[in-house]
Amino acid sequence: MRIVIPVKWVPDTAGEKHLDPGSLTVDRSVASVLCPVNEFAIEEAVRIKEAAPETETVVLIVGPEAAGPTAAKALSYGLDRAVRVTDDAVAGSDAIGTARVIAAAASTIGFDLLLFGNQSTDARTSLVPAMVAELLGLPSITYARRLELVDGGLVADREHEEGYDTVSSPLPAVVSVVEAINEPRFPSFKGIMAAKSKPQDVWDLSALDGLDTALVGAGAARAVVGTATPRPPKAAGTVVTDDGAGSSAAELVAWMAERKFV
């Protein structure tokens, strides 16, 4: 059995995020990291491998050369090998363009289970896993909070606002998981050192089966940013000091009423 885990290189969630003023796309020159949501998919893949050691786990990342350390970070959790799709033609792809590249890369690798985090912290669209499933013509289970492999298929608890539904699917399938599914481990020192010697294949778009390169990249994007205005500096707050005479309370109520808080 082979599990492919697509992960994303995203701006550090603790850092300042902004758009590149030239391309009006997310500025990737800032400090970037492995998307934290992907850690739940990685952990689930590692747990499956621990229960079935013959399972092969492959991390897949689409991004520039600078994303290489992100693949190494994913491998340090215990995954077997990495495939990196690095091609300037991918830059500026929207969700469907990204899904096309991931679908083609996963198809080229070959898999039984394609295991995603349910969203990325830089976009939060939650669209790509279902798009990939549609492009590949495979069953899709989104928002999985529990996943169990059974004879030739899988069973999952799919989370929704009223609770969850238990659903099943044959393999191959595409699954995206939510944070409730597990508690990701920290990479061990042994895992970090072992990741340095694990294989990483680097492909360009020409290596992918069945991909129409005219349908990816900024030129093919259906969702584009027309204009963007930087967020204004944070304004100084209003300080109301209690003078003990009750006027401060009236001042506070007047301030709240002016802004329609009360």
The pLDDT score that the predictor gives to residue 27 is 77
Residue 91 sits in a domain whose CATH number is 3.40.50.620
pLDDT score for 131: 97
CA dist., res. 154 & res. 171, Å (int):
7
Residue 177 has what pLDDT? 97
DSSP lists the bridge partners of residue 201 as 83
243 within domain boundaries: no
Phi and psi dihedrals of 234, rounded to 5?
A: -65, 125
Please tell me the predicted confidence (pLDDT) of residue 146: 97
- Paired with 176 in beta bridges are 116
Q: What is the pLDDT of residue 32?
A: 84
Query: Would you say the C-alpha torsion 71, 72, 77, 79 has a positive or negative sign?
Result: positive
Residue 163: inside a domain:
yes
pLDDT at res. 74? 96
What is the extent of the structural domain holding 82?
A: 2-220
* Chain length of the chain: 262
C-alpha span between 123 and 40 (Å, rounded): 18
Report yes or no on 71 lying in a domain. Answer: yes
Q: What is the pLDDT of residue 44?
A: 97
Residue 246 domain-assigned (yes or no): no
Q: pLDDT tens across 233-262, in order? A: 888 877 878 777 667 888 888 888 988 888
Predicted confidence at residue 90, as pLDDT, reads 94
Residues in the chain, pLDDT under 70: 245-246
How many structural domains are present in the chain?
Answer: 1
Helix segments in 36-136, DSSP class H: 38-51, 68-75, 95-109, 128-136
Residue 145, pLDDT score: 97
**Neighbouring residues of 135: CB distance < 8 A, sequence distance ≥ 6:** 99, 100, 103
**90 with 103: CB under 8 angstroms?**
no
State both tokens at 7: 């992960």
DSSP string, 213-254: GGGSSGGG-SS------PPPPPPPPP-----SSSHHHHHHHH
Q: What is the pLDDT of residue 239?
A: 81
Whether 229 is in a domain gets the answer: no
Please check whether residue 167 is in contact with residue 179, taking contact to mean a CB–CB distance below 8 angstroms.
Answer: no
pLDDT at 174: 98
Contacts of 29 (CB under 8 A, 6+ apart): 20
- Tell me if residue 179 falls in helix, strand or coil: helix
**Assigned domain for 249 exists:** no
Q: How far apart are CA 48 and CA 54, in angstroms?
A: 10
Range list of β-strands (E), 151-210:
153-160, 163-170, 173-177, 200-203
pTM, 2 dp: 0.86
Q: Which amino acid, residue 202?
A: V
Would you say residue 239 lies in a domain? no
Task: Kindly state the tokens that stand for 38.
Answer: 């992907």
Q: What are phi and psi of 206, to 5 degrees?
A: -65, -15
pLDDT at residue 251, rounded to an integer? 84
- pLDDT number for residue 234: 83
Report yes or no: 177 and 44 within 8 Å, Cβ to Cβ: yes
- When the pLDDT of each residue in the chain is averaged and rounded to a whole number, the result is 92
**124 within domain boundaries:** yes
